[in-house]
């Protein structure tokens, strides 16, 4: 069994995603990286480590990710979050939860960012 190549098709989607992230974050020298839904197929237990990798890599490049994951939101800093929501007329609205006094009041009273996100309150 030694020296046998493992075909990519035998790897899980999560493993492939991790490999792709490592390459994008540490082996690409592009100054700006956009990653769509980076934690799809990744076990929640590993999401914190993935975010740590991104924070580390962001010291040398701009990284933007899109996500619906509460785990990503939980590990992100409130200042790093940009919320895109839909108004009553169906138009996209871009906002920064960190700028909202009500969001800060909730956070100060130990309501976590991820809980506010789940309850759809980050856009208040």
Enumerate binding residues for another protein (CB under 8 A).
101-102, 105-106, 108-112, 115, 119-121, 124
Nearer to another protein, 53 or 121 (CB): 121
Nearer to another protein, 17 or 106 (CB): 106
Q: Could you tell me if 20 and 37 are in contact, meaning their C-beta atoms sit under 8 angstroms apart?
A: no
Q: Smallest gap, in angstroms, from Cβ of residue 122 to another protein?
A: 12
d(CA 96, CA 110): 19
**H helix intervals, 4-96:** 13-22, 44-57, 70-75
Q: Which residues contact 95 (CB under 8 A, 6 or more apart)?
A: 82, 83, 85, 123
Q: Smallest gap, in angstroms, from Cβ of residue 93 to another protein?
A: 13
Nearer to another protein, 75 or 100 (CB): 100
């Amino acid at each position: 069994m030694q020296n046998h190549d493992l075909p990519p098709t035998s790897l899980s989607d999560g493993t492939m995603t991790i490999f792709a992230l490592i390459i994008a974050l540490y082996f690409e020298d592009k100054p700006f990286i956009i990653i769509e839904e980076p934690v799809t197929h990744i076990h929640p237990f590993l999401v914190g480590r993935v975010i740590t990798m991104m924070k580390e890599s962001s010291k040398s490049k701009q990284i933007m990710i899109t996500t619906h994951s509460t785990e990503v939101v939980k590990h992100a800093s409130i200042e790093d979050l940009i919320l895109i929501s839909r108004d009553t007329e169906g138009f996209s609205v871009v906002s920064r939860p960190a700028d909202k006094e009500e969001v800060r009041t909730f956070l100060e009273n130990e309501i976590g960012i991820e809980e506010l996100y789940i309850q759809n309150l980050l856009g208040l």
